Structure 1
Amino acid sequence: MHAMQYEITLPADYDMEIIRKRVATKGHLLDDFPGLGVKAYLMRERGADSPVNQYAPFYLWNTPEGMNSFLWGPGFQGVVNDFGRPRVLHWTGLAYEDGPAAGAVPRNAVRRRQGIPEGGDLSAAIDEAVRETRRLARVEGVVSAALAVDPRHWELVHLTLWEGDSKAAGDRFEVLHLSRPEQAELVRGQQWGAQR
């Protein structure tokens, strides 16, 4: 599994209905995209539990070929044409779990990015993060929980999709649409070796 996200931060007075309409008319285009496990079309509005207006889609890819087909194809080029070329964040998958509300349409997402402190035991830090993902996946209202790591910057990212509102710590987003063409193929649990 590969996680990917780009953030398009928009002016404070930007009409976020433009983003809603964009997703309403184009979101379905990735509903059958090869290699894509899940794409959550995420948005947050300044003043509504967010300091900024932002469109920030989050992807879980089953294959690097699918991710490459998107990045070097017309889908991402449309984003570049409309908003400029955003920096694409990328993480290697560590864990994925379905929650009690799996199959429901998520309305909200919480993303939490955290650095891995230098000098600690990497294995212990990753094990703890995987346990946290499993714990989150058991909370009522959770659709799914994912965990990934960027080993260049030693950063973990947790993404939890919720059927309703959540008070979980992290950046809160509204889910405008969810494409999940190959969600069933996402490997559940820990993404390497034997389950610990």
Structure 2
Amino acid sequence: MLAMHYRYVLPADYDMGIIRRRIQERGAQLDDHPGLAFKAWLSADRGAGRLPTPCNAYAPFYVWQEADAMSRFLTSPAIDGLARSFGWPAVMWWQVWSSMSGALAESVCASVEHVPVAPWTDLGGLREQEIATAGRMAAQGALASIVALDASRWSLVRMQLWPELRPDLASQQRQLIRRRPRLHRPPHPFSLRKPPCHWFASPCVAANPPTTSPPCATASIAR
């Protein structure tokens, strides 16, 4: 499985209602996309005030069952439409190490965290630690927990969905934003330990990308 993420930083005076309408109107378009295990409609609204965020952003997060599915999406008209609306995306992707889910419909907040991996790290040991951490997050109330590795930049991404607002979790590496009402749930939990299934969440989430990643596009903003 592969996790995928792109992020557009929007102007400070951008009308975030445009993003909310985009999520509401287009949220169901990928429901039956072959090979898509998960999509979270991610955005951050600096004017909302209920969770800390330094900027307005639109930053969807995906999990794909296999590389061909991600490739088909990236070469589809959907990406062309995205680029025409917001500019050319800088797409990040990771190999999924662990994923767990629970009562997703109850989530109201999500967190995304980027963590560097030091040279000569015992990757097998790190993977086991991260799987254990994901389990602890679930025990602490996370309704979904994903951890994945980018071996080209040697960084991890961690994503959780929470049943309540968690401003206490905000940090330089981690951001939090409210979930929007739209939520699609599969019949079975999304887990690497079970057969692949489809579930869709549409939280408003913002993530700080790793410092080594290319800057996100800000041109050609749709109005």
Range into which the TM-score falls when normalised by the shorter chain = 0.7 to 0.9
Counterpart of 1:175, as a letter, is: R
Show the counterpart of 2:74.
71
Counterpart of 2:128, as a letter, is: D
Conservation of the 8 A alpha-carbon contact between 2:100 and 2:189 = no
- Stretch moving more, 24-33 or 116-125: 116-125
Show the counterpart of 2:206.
none
Q: Distance in 1 between matches of 2:127 and 2:61?
A: 21
SS at match of 1:164: coil
Map 1:1-196; keep pairs closer than 5 Å: 1-46=1-46, 48=49, 49-99=52-102, 102-140=103-141, 142-166=142-166, 167-169=168-170, 170-176=174-180, 177-178=182-183, 184=189, 186-188=191-193
Q: CA RMSD in A?
A: 2.1
Conservation of the 8 A alpha-carbon contact between 2:4 and 2:94 = yes
Counterpart of 1:41, as a letter, is: W
Q: CA deviation at 1:61?
A: 0.9
Q: How many residues matched?
A: 186
Conservation of the 8 A alpha-carbon contact between 1:37 and 1:61 = yes
- Stretch moving more, 150-159 or 57-66: 57-66
Counterpart of 1:131, as a letter, is: A
Q: Distance in 2 between matches of 1:40 and 1:123?
A: 28
Q: Distance in 2 between matches of 1:160 and 1:84?
A: 28
Conservation of the 8 A alpha-carbon contact between 2:4 and 2:92 = yes
Counterpart of 1:111, as a letter, is: V
TM-score by length of 1: 0.86
Over 3 Å counting, the alpha-carbon distance change for 1:183 and 1:31 in structure 2 is: farther
Q: CA deviation at 1:123?
A: 2.2
Counterpart of 2:193, as a letter, is: R
Q: Distance in 1 between matches of 2:90 and 2:106?
A: 28
**1:102-132 alpha-carbon deviations (Å, 9 max, x no partner):** 2425322100100012233222222211111
Gaps of 5+ in 1: 190-196
Over 3 Å counting, the alpha-carbon distance change for 1:186 and 1:63 in structure 2 is: farther
SS at match of 1:81: helix
Larger % of strand: which?
1
Q: CA deviation at 1:134?
A: 1.1
**1:71-104 alpha-carbon deviations (Å, 9 max, x no partner):** 11122221111011110010001001124xx242
Q: Distance in 2 between matches of 1:34 and 1:168?
A: 34
Over 3 Å counting, the alpha-carbon distance change for 1:103 and 1:34 in structure 2 is: same
Q: Distance in 1 between matches of 2:184 and 2:82?
A: 17
Q: Distance in 2 between matches of 1:59 and 1:80?
A: 17
Conservation of the 8 A alpha-carbon contact between 1:39 and 1:180 = no
SS at match of 2:41: strand
SS at match of 2:144: strand
Q: Distance in 2 between matches of 1:69 and 1:119?
A: 34
Sequence identity of aligned pairs in percent? 35
